[in-house]
Each structure stands twice: as C-alpha cells, then as structure tokens.
Amino acid sequence: MVSELLDPKKLCIGVDCSNNAGSLRCPTCLKIGVESHFCSQECFKRSWSDHKSVHKKSNFLSNLLPPKIVSKPDPATGHFNPFPTYPFTGPLRPVYPLAPKNTVPDLIPHPDYASDGIPRSEQKFVGRHNITILNAKEQEGMRKVCRLAREVLDIAAREVKPGVTTDHIDKVVHQACLERKSYPSPLNYVHFPKSVCTSVNEVICHGIPDQRPLEDGDIINIDVTLYHEGFHGDLNETYYVGEKARANPELVRVVETAGNV
C-alpha cells in the first residue's frame, strides 16, 4: 500500500466499509491512474478479491484508446478513420475528427468526474453488496431527472433522419440538457468525449457521435443520461432511419427480444 496526505472528503472503498479513508492507496491503482483509498491495511487485504476487478476494467479501457497509426485524412473533407487496423465486424467506420468538446457552465452542478474523468463516487461502491434505498425526497429527485431525460431523448429522436450526423444529434442533446439546468452525464465519464451515446447498426452500445451522416436503412440507438440535482437519469431507445429499415424490421425485433431475456 502507498501512503499520502489524508483527504477528509475521501471514503474507504473497502467491501461493505463506510469508514473515512486513511492515507493508504492501492499501488496497482496508482500505476494505472485509478483513485482508490482504504482505511487500513487489513481492510485492503479483506477487499482484495473484489477490488482487483477494478484493475481489469482499467486495462480493458486502455485497449480502446486510439492507436498511433491513423488513416490519412480525405483531402476533400478532412475526415479520417482513427482505428484503421481494428478488425471491424461490419461496414460501419468511424468518421473523425470529432467536433470540439462540449462545455457546461459552472452554474450547472457537475458530477465528480467532469474535470478529470474519474468517477470517484462510483468507485467507492465497487465490491459493495448493499443496495441504497432512497427516501421520499430522493425518490422525487430521481423521478424528476428521469422525466427530464425522457424529454431530451424525445428531442433527439426528432432529429433522426437520413443525412443528419450523429455529431449534430450530440449538439442537440447537449443544448437540451443545458436548457434543463442539467449536466449530460456521458460527457467526460472515463474521458468519454461526447454528451450522448449514439450506436448505429452493428455498434452494440456507447457509440461515439461523429461526422458520419445517417443513411436510409440504418437503425440508431440513442442513449441519454442527465445529471440533475445529484441524480442521474438514464434511458435509451432504438429508431429507424428513413423507410428502408422499416421494410425489414427483423434486426430490431431480435435486438428487442434479446434485451427482454
């Protein structure tokens, strides 16, 4: 374990431990840039079998970072594929560069990962087996943010049509969140670069909005999450793009059936 100056705001992330964190940190987490604080050496040892799963998740995410080799930009558009060596399973390809990162005014409350991408409040629940039960006031806060998220998803859905880029949908979602005094939860969560997830065709989930125009026959899943007054509201739906996809709805039916299993 590695020692550092005590931050009184940190809590121990040990399994089923609610103590204030001491000056001890997991050395493996330090190497890979993950924040983890424990109240004692004994707590760290007792929690190791659960805690070590954090290291595997971090290593997986590091494999998703763009490689150093990228395709040459199209001289006419400036677009390029940042993952030219990736073994894609279908014809879809990312179309970069991404638009500049969205910003959120300081007057709107930000989640703890907004500045550096590290979801500290989430990490302290890793390995815990008790479920938090919301009181009446907290339940109303959760209902409110979910209602707002539903409104934003409906706004995004109205933009789905051939020729529209997912980057445009991202801008629409971001603005709708700001109008509701909400932070778009995906933005900078573990360094996610956008305010919404848009997954087209064979992309399973958490697709990054880019410069590719939607095509007639595509299907798109839009995953909206808002952070409002301390709560996250998360929901998503899949939509047809144009009329061609409606003529062959088998893929949508299979995906929907799989989601209900």
How far is residue 199's CA from residue 163's CA, in Å, rounded to a whole number?
16
> What confidence tier does 6 reach under pLDDT thresholds 50, 70, 90?
very low
Q: Show me where the domains of the chain are located.
A: 24-64, 120-259
Residue 20, exposed/middle/buried by CB under 10 A (0-12, 13-18, 19+)? middle
- Provide CB contacts within 8 A for 156, sequence distance 6+: 169, 172, 173, 176, 196, 222, 224
Region 100-116 average pLDDT: 96
For 222, phi and psi rounded to 5 degrees? -110, 120
DSSP conformation class of 209: P
Select from 258, 260, 255 the least CA-distant residue to 240.
255
Bond preceding residue 213 cis, omega within 30 of 0: no
pLDDT at 248: 67
How far is residue 170's CA from residue 224's CA, in Å, rounded to a whole number?
10
> What confidence tier does 7 reach under pLDDT thresholds 50, 70, 90?
very low
CA quadruple 81, 85, 86, 87: dihedral sign: positive
pLDDT at 36: 80
How far is residue 23's CA from residue 85's CA, in Å, rounded to a whole number?
43
> Please, which contacts does 82-90 make with residues 24 or more away whose CB atoms are closer than 8 Å?
89/202, 90/201, 90/202
> What confidence tier does 1 reach under pLDDT thresholds 50, 70, 90?
very low
Select from 120, 126, 226, 119 the least CA-distant residue to 181.
226
- pLDDT tens-digit map of 117-142: 999 988 888 777 788 899 999 999 99
CATH, domain range 120-259: 3.90.230.10
Mean pLDDT of the chain: 86
Select from 208, 172, 168, 223 the least CA-distant residue to 81.
208
CA dihedral 110, 235, 101, 161 (to 10 degrees): -150
Across 7-11, 202-206, 248-252, least confident range: 7-11
How far is residue 83's CA from residue 122's CA, in Å, rounded to a whole number?
30
DSSP conformation class of 77: T
Across 83-92, 202-211, 218-227, least confident range: 83-92
For residues 189-202, one letter each, b for 16 or more C-beta atoms within 10 angstroms of the residue's C-beta and e for the rest, the string is: beebbbbbbbbbbe
pLDDT at 14: 83
